Chains A and B, each alone.
Chain A
Amino acid sequence: MRESRRARLILGTLLTAALVILTVDHRLGGSSPFGPLRTAGAWLFGAVEQTAGSVTRPIGELLGAYANAPGARDEIQRLEAENARLRTALIAGRIDAARSEELRRMLGLAGRGGYKIVTANVIARRGSPGFEEAVQIDAGTADGIRPEMTVLNGDGLIGRVVSAAAGTATVVLISDRGSATGARLEGGQEIGVVHGVGDNGRLVQFRLLDSTAPLAPGSRIVSFGSQHGTPYVPGVPIGAIERVEATPGELTRVAFARPFARLSALDVVGVVVRAPERDPRDSVLPPRPQPKKEAVRPPRRDTLVRPERDARDAALRGRDATDAVRSPARDSTVDTPEQDLGERYPGEERSPGRDSARAEVDPGGEPEGAEVAPDRGQGETGRESGGAVRPPARDPGDTRSPERDPRSARTPGGESRDSVRSPARDQGDGGRSRGEGGR
């Protein structure tokens, strides 16, 4: 009984204390005298909690993981399904964007040329068992496609329809060895024939009917057009000349062109179901990049020569400047710096010889060199009679550069380097003085 009374007393005291603490804390709020107690508790137990928490957090997470395990499995499955769906949608969106871009370009081309096209997708391609280069498209007679119609894509000509079923059609590419397409050089009347050479459409052969017409790498060819637009409508870009073959003595000139359309990677194509009312000529060709434009225009002899001369002049100017620093009277003493000049500017002196070498190996290196290549190949006549008996191809534009002719006529035939260099150097010096005089 006494024990119980004592206990009650203690309980009463404690409860009173608790109520007092509670009241004081409640009444005084922020300025409570128990603030320091709270702070100390927070500091002490905060540290303890932090330490213990870092140790026991994995346990708590494990418990949580167990508690959530059934839901987590569902969640994982749901997320995986969603992930797969999103990934598919992403890929589909990417493909759609690419196709949309192709379609847009093709519609632009068709609009420029006035072609009325039916779009189709390439669904099959003739593989290695077989000699033809042909693809199958998913549009047929139900879409208004008949045999002998032109097929193109956003880049250029692809081929022609050879047979059409209700829902599909077969297209023979221009790279097929049996395919022949009438073609015309850009910006002129020169016509020729494009033959396929196989090779997965990397190159096509362009045979220019007029062997004297100027033909340089970089010039572009468009389709010439057949009668009533069948099988080829006019004006479709075909490709750009990549290299010109040296064909001495032949009636035609042969060049190899790179097709604008990547014939090995076809997706969206268009079949021209109605030819334009009139020949679009060159208007379908995409605009040329600006620097190239100047370099490969038809009156290209002038514009081609000029940059080279300019470059040389610049070099001369630089040399003059250095000479001016070293000895101002260098110009009067031409014979002394000869050796020096030959060493310091060997490329300039040797350039004709190098040009001819390159023309034999790879005529496509430089437009100018390639054009001169046939002449150089049969350089005997040119060498004997100077610039006068050059083939007519070279004549029209040559009026501007008389100082180049003797050099280019003389040097290719020379066997030893010295015999080549000495006249060339003379000419180079002459050219320099003339060039300076002209300036």
Chain B
Amino acid sequence: MTGVLIVLATVLVQVIMVNRVALPGGATPDLVVLAVIGVAMARGPAAGAVIGFCAGLLVDVMPPTAHLLGHYAFVLAIVGYLAGRGLGTPVTTVMLCVVIAPLLAAGLGGLISDPRVTVGTLTDQVPLTIAYTLILSPIVMWLYNRGTRPGYAT
């Protein structure tokens, strides 16, 4: 329940606030991915996949939207599963998931021949998004470390 609320709030914050801040380079950090990673790491692969799928659907439906429904549901389901399963230490898990998410989204867009996915997107926007998200990722790691300590109610 807490995880669902966290994801929902993150999605709203992402759309309302973060995407409006004009950061240098024109890209913004992807908080939704971070939230999914954090919740999935705390809950395990199955719950992570479900949470990721739901969060992705939410992102797909949330206006303003112009891409196909199910795009981010697919990506975030995989990310949630991977984060829940764990890829080495928590730090590497978070970092790998953060790197994988935009690449997966771009790859899926390329598969369905999304005209917005071009080489320029891959070279300019995706690395910047990854960089910004990585800058914010220590928050998730810190929360996860706190959560694994006894006394953290999940």
Contacts and interface: CB of A to CB of B under 8 A. Distances in A.
B99 interface: no
Given A11-B81, A67-B22, A52 B69 contact: no
Interface stretch (A38-46, A122-130, A212-220, A343-351): A38-46
Task: Please tell me the size bucket of the interface on B.
Answer: 35 or more
B149 interface: no
A26 B112 contact: yes
Interface in A1-47: 3-4, 6-8, 10-11, 14-15, 17-22, 25-26, 32, 34, 37-38, 40-42, 45-46
Given A14-B77, A25-B68, A67 B63 contact: no
Given A14-B77, A18-B77, A7 B45 contact: yes
B49 interface: yes
Given A32-B69, A49-B15, A7 B74 contact: no
A21 B77 contact: no
A23 to B, nearest CB: 8
Given A14-B77, A19-B74, A41-B62, A52 B50 contact: no
A53 interface: yes
B136 to A, nearest CB: 14
Contacts of B70: 17-22, 25
Contacts of B89: none
A57 B17 CA distance: 7
Interface in B1-26: 12, 15-17, 20-24
Contacts of B71: 22
A11 to B, nearest CB: 4
A15 B74 contact: yes
Contacts of B112: 22, 26
B63 A45 contact: yes
A17 B81 CA distance: 15
A42 B49 CA distance: 24
Given A19-B74, A26-B112, A38-B69, A49 B63 contact: yes
Interface string B104-143: 0000100010000000000000000000000000000000
Given A10-B46, A15-B74, A22-B71, A41 B53 contact: no
B49 A10 contact: yes
Interface stretch (A58-66, A151-159, A203-211, A375-383): A58-66
Nearest to A6: B46
B154 interface: no
Contacts of B21: 60, 63-64, 67
B94 interface: no
Contacts of A333: none
Given A22-B68, A25-B70, A32-B69, A59 B45 contact: no
Contacts of A7: 44-46, 49, 81, 84-85
Given A38-B61, A42-B63, A18 B85 contact: no
A68 interface: yes
B50 A10 contact: yes
Given A4-B85, A10-B46, A56-B16, A15 B78 contact: yes
Contact of A67 (B23, B46, B85): B23
Nearest to A60: B20
B16 A53 contact: yes
Interface in B34-93: 44-46, 49-50, 52-53, 56, 58, 61-63, 65, 68-71, 73-74, 77-78, 81, 84-85
A38 B112 CA distance: 19
Contacts of A18: 53, 56, 70, 73-74, 77
Interface of A: 3-4, 6-8, 10-11, 14-15, 17-22, 25-26, 32, 34, 37-38, 40-42, 45-46, 48-49, 52-53, 56-57, 59-60, 63-64, 67-68
Given A7-B85, A11-B77, A64-B20, 20 more contacts: A3-B45, A3-B46, A14-B53, A15-B74, A17-B70, A18-B77, A21-B73, A22-B71, A22-B108, A25-B68, A38-B69, A40-B61, A41-B58, A45-B61, A48-B12, A52-B16, A57-B20, A60-B17, A64-B21, A64-B22
